[in-house]
Each structure stands twice: as structure tokens, then as C-alpha cells.
Chains A and B, each alone.
Chain A
Amino acid sequence: QQPVQSPQAVILREGEDAVINCSSSKALYSVHWYRQKHGEAPVFLMILLKGGEQKGHDKISASFNEKKQQSSLYLTASQLSYSGTYFCGTEMDSSYKLIFGSGTRLLVRP
């Protein structure tokens, strides 16, 4: 039931792009994306509801393919501040109950 995230880790140079994927074996109502910096609490980035909409947040955007039960997070022109661990959280219904993936570690180097 836990969503699968890929890749597990990625290292980028500042200005490069990255894609983080999240897939589920179950039908999804929504997908949430969070970023966690070392030693800190997770911080909400965006939520995608079923309907396949794409959302943006500065240079970070995401898509949700409801039929494939997959979501992707796109980071363009990465900045040093993007470093951290990215988690997707999936919701099967409108219960507000999330199941999180194991995370993708992103390191952006100068």
C-alpha cells in the first residue's frame, strides 16, 4: 500500500533539472508532495487531486496521472535550497489520511 518513489537519491549541479516519481498500486484520490531538510519537519509543497491537473510552485511543478496512479515532481533550474528529502503522500479517499513513500534524497551542489 506504501507508494514507491524513484529514484532513491539524486545529485545535481545547480541549474540542472530533476524528476521524482511516485507510483501506487491502488487507486488514488490525491497525491501530496513534501520536502524535509535534515533535522527539520516536513514542509508542504503541493497537493494534486484526481483529475490529472498539473500544479506549479515557483520552479517546482507536479503532475498526477490518475489512470496510471502515478505522480511526478519536476524541479527545474535547481537551486541549492532545493536540497533535502522529498516525500510523496498518497490518499485513497477523502479521509485526509496519508500514506508516505520512503523518500527521495536530493542534493544540489554548486
Chain B
Amino acid sequence: NAGVTQTPKFQVLKTGQSMTLQCAQDMNHNSMYWYRQDPGMGLRLIYYSASEGTTDKGEVPNGYNVSRLNKREFSLRLESAAPSQTSVYFCASTLERGLSHEQYFGPGTRLTVT
């Protein structure tokens, strides 16, 4: 049981390049999320998916697209990277247990855009 996995762990992009961050969970969770965390800051929600086939915008969706490929996988795409997108990106999934729904986070992807 690997939990939430993310690839790659580190990435350096040039301005204007595109890339996809991959996330997968093996806990059979319905909801999945993408957050970004800038240095010394909190987590900001980019997009989330309440179930397979549905996605919704979070606080900071501009410049990103997502795809919920199946129940396990939720990818985040940067179509044209900008230096302002330099951040640590965390994927998370939610265990829905009655009224409790704690989020499990992946290890993060550290992205630098030059």
C-alpha cells in the first residue's frame, strides 16, 4: 500500500515549456486534490476532483489544467510554464469515513521555472 505517489520529485522547466505532474493513489479514495505551496506559505488549492469524471476549480486554477484519468489517477498540466509557477506541488486524496474526511498527501513535486 503505497498511499499517494507523485512523479517527478523534482523538475526544472524553462519559461514556456509544458509538463504534466502525475499523481496516483491506491487507497480507493473518491476525492483527489492538487495544491501548490510557495516558500513559507500555506497550501493553495488549484483543482480538485470529487469523483471519477468530475473536476472543479479551486483558489488558483489559472495556468493549469487537470485530468481525472480514472479513480486512481489525477494529473496536473502546465501548458506554458511561467516563473510564477515555481512552487512545491502536492497531490492529496480523501478518505471518506462517515463524517470524517482526512486528506492524505503525496511527497510533493518541486518545480522550478527559469
A residues lining the B interface (CB < 8 Å): 2, 32, 34, 40-44, 47, 49, 87, 89, 95-103
| Interface check B94, CB cutoff 8 A | yes
A44 touches B104 (CB 8 A): yes
Q: When the two chains form their complex, are residues B43 and A41 in contact, meaning their CB atoms are under 8 A apart?
A: no
User: Using a CB–CB distance below 8 Å, which chain B residues touch chain A?
Assistant: 31, 35, 41-45, 48, 50, 56, 58-59, 90, 94, 96, 99-108
Contact flag A99-B59 (CB < 8 Å), given A42-B43, A42-B90? yes
Residue ID in chain B nearest A102 by CB atoms: B42
Q: Smallest CB–CB gap between B92 and chain A, Å?
A: 8
A41 touches B101 (CB 8 A): no
Q: How far is the CA of A101 from the CA of B96 in the complex (A)?
A: 22
Contact partner, B94, options A41, A87, A96, Cβ 8 Å: A96
Q: Say how far A71's CB is from chain B's closest CB, in angstroms.
A: 15
Q: Is the CB of B45 within 8 A of A44?
A: no
Complex: how many Å from CA A57 to CA B9? 31
- A and B contact pairs by CB, cutoff 8 A, 21 listed: A2-B42, A34-B103, A41-B90, A41-B107, A41-B108, A44-B104, A47-B100, A49-B99, A89-B103, A95-B50, A96-B31, A96-B48, A96-B94, A96-B96, A96-B101, A97-B48, A97-B58, A99-B45, A99-B59, A100-B44, A103-B41
